[in-house]
Structure 1
Amino acid sequence: MARGNQRIKARAKNLEKQAAQKSKNTKTGSEMQRDKEALAALMRQKQEAANAKKADADAAGGKK
Structure 2
Amino acid sequence: MSRGNQREKAREKNLKAEAGKGKKTNMSGSEFQKHKEDAAAIMRAKQAAAEAKKQADGAKK
The TM-score normalised by the length of structure 1 is: 0.65
Structure index of larger Rg:
1
Q: For residue 33 of structure 1, what is the amino acid of its counterpart? A: Q
The TM-score normalised by the length of structure 2 is: 0.67
Structure 1 segments of 4+ aligned residues over 4 angstroms from their partners: none
Q: Any gaps of 5 or more consecutive residues in structure 1?
A: none
Whole-angstrom CA distance in 2 between matches of 1:56 and 1:25? 43
Q: Any gaps of 5 or more consecutive residues in structure 2?
A: none
Name the count of aligned residue pairs.
60
Whole-angstrom CA distance in 1 between matches of 2:5 and 2:59? 74
